[in-house]
Amino acid sequence: MAEASTSRPLAASSVPRWDLEHEVVVVGHGVAGGAAAIEAARAGADVVVLERMTRGGGATALSTGITYFGGGTEIQTACGFRDSPEDMHAYLRLAAGEQADPERVRLYCEGSLEHFRWFRELGVEFNPTFLDDKVTHPFGTECLTFSGNEDAWPERELARPVPRGHKPAREGEAGGYLMEAVLRGTAESGARVVNECRALRLVQAADGRVVGVVARRERERIAVKARRAVVLATGGFIMNREMVAKHAPHLLQCNYRVGTPGDDGSGIRMGMGAGGDAINMGEGLVLNAYYPPSSHLKGVLVDRNGQRFVNEDAYLGRTSDAILRKADGRAFLVVDDELYGQTQAFHKLAAVEESFEALEKALAIPAGALVRTLEVYNESAARGEDPLFHKAPRYLRPLSAPPFAALDCSTSNSIFGVFTLGGLSVRATGEVLGPDGDPVPGLYAAGRCTAGLPREGRSYASGLSIGDASFFGRLAGRRAAQLAPWD
Ligand SMILES: Cc1cc2nc3c(=O)[nH]c(=O)nc-3n(C[C@H](O)[C@H](O)[C@H](O)COP(=O)(O)OP(=O)(O)OC[C@H]3O[C@@H](n4cnc5c(N)ncnc54)[C@H](O)[C@@H]3O)c2cc1C
pLDDT (average), residues 33-49: 98
35 lines ligand 1 (CB under 6 A): no
Which atom of ligand 1 lies closest to the CA of 28? 34
Classify strands 439-445 and 220-232 as parallel, antiparallel or unpaired.
Answer: parallel
Q: Whose CA is nearest to atom 38 of ligand 1?
A: 234
What mean pLDDT is predicted for residues 316-332? 97
Q: Is the CB of 329 inside a 6 Å radius of any atom of ligand 1?
A: no
Above 70 in pLDDT, residue 213? yes
Q: Is 466 in the pocket of ligand 1 (CB under 6 A)?
A: yes
Ligand 1 contact via 464 beta carbon (within 6 Å): yes
Rounded to the nearest angstrom, the distance between the alpha carbon of 263 and the centre of ligand 1 is 7
Ligand 1 pocket: which of 238, 448, 470, 474 to mutate (most atoms within 8 A of CB): 448
Does the pLDDT of residue 133 top 80, yes or no? yes
* pLDDT band at residue 345 using 50, 70 and 90 as cut-offs: confident
Q: Is the CB of 137 under 6 A from ligand 1?
A: no
Query: Do the beta carbons of residue 122 and residue 480 sit within 8 Å?
Result: no
Query: What's the 322 CA to ligand 1 centre distance in angstroms?
Result: 25
Q: What pLDDT band is residue 327 in, cutting at 50, 70 and 90?
A: very high
Q: How far is the CA of 147 from the centre of ligand 1 (A)?
A: 19
pLDDT by residue (tens digit) across 349-379?
999 999 999 999 999 999 999 999 999 999 9
Q: What pLDDT score was predicted for residue 36? A: 99
Q: Note the pLDDT of residue 160.
A: 96
What global pTM score does this model have? 0.97
In this predicted structure, the answer to whether residue 2 has a pLDDT above a threshold of 70 is no
pLDDT given for residue 290 in this prediction: 94
Q: Is the Cβ atom of 452 under 6 angstroms away from ligand 1?
A: no
DSSP state of 115: H
Would the CB of 2 count as within 6 Å of ligand 1?
no
Task: Confirm or reject: Cβ of 198 under 6 Å from ligand 1.
Answer: yes
Cβ–ligand 1 contact at 446 (below 6 Å)? no
High-pLDDT (> 70) share of the chain, %: 100
In angstroms, rounded to a whole number, what is the distance separating the alpha carbons of residues 218 and 226? 20
Q: Is the CB of 447 under 6 A from ligand 1?
A: yes
Q: Is 448 in the pocket of ligand 1 (CB under 6 A)?
A: yes
User: Could you give the CA distance from residue 113 to residue 80 in angstroms, rounded to a whole number?
Assistant: 17
Phi, psi of 178 (to 5 degrees): -60, -40
Contact residues for 246 (Cβ-Cβ < 8 A; gap 6+): 4
Nearest protein CA to atom 45 of ligand 1, as residue: 28
Q: What is the pLDDT of residues 164-190, one digit of tens each?
A: 999 999 999 999 999 999 999 999 999
Are β-strands 220-232 and 210-217 bridged in parallel, bridged antiparallel, or unpaired? Answer: antiparallel
Average pLDDT rounded to a whole number, residues 199-208: 97
pLDDT of residue 9: 97
pLDDT tens-digit readout, 17-40: 999 999 999 999 999 999 999 999
Q: What angle do CA 340, 345, 347 make, to 5 degrees?
A: 50
Instruction: Label the pairing between strands 417-420 and 284-287.
Output: antiparallel
- Asked if pLDDT for residue 1 goes beyond 60, the answer is no
Distance between Cα 30 and ligand 1 center (Å): 6
Q: Quick check: CB of 138 below 6 Å from ligand 1?
A: no
Burial 234-244 (b: 16+ CB within 10 A, else e): bbbbbbbeebb
Q: Which protein residue has the closest C-alpha to ligand 1 atom 31?
A: 30
Q: Compute the mean pLDDT over every residue in the chain, rounded to the nearest whole number.
A: 96
Residue 262 Cβ inside 6 Å of ligand 1? The answer reads yes
Ligand 1 centroid from CA 419, angstroms? 10
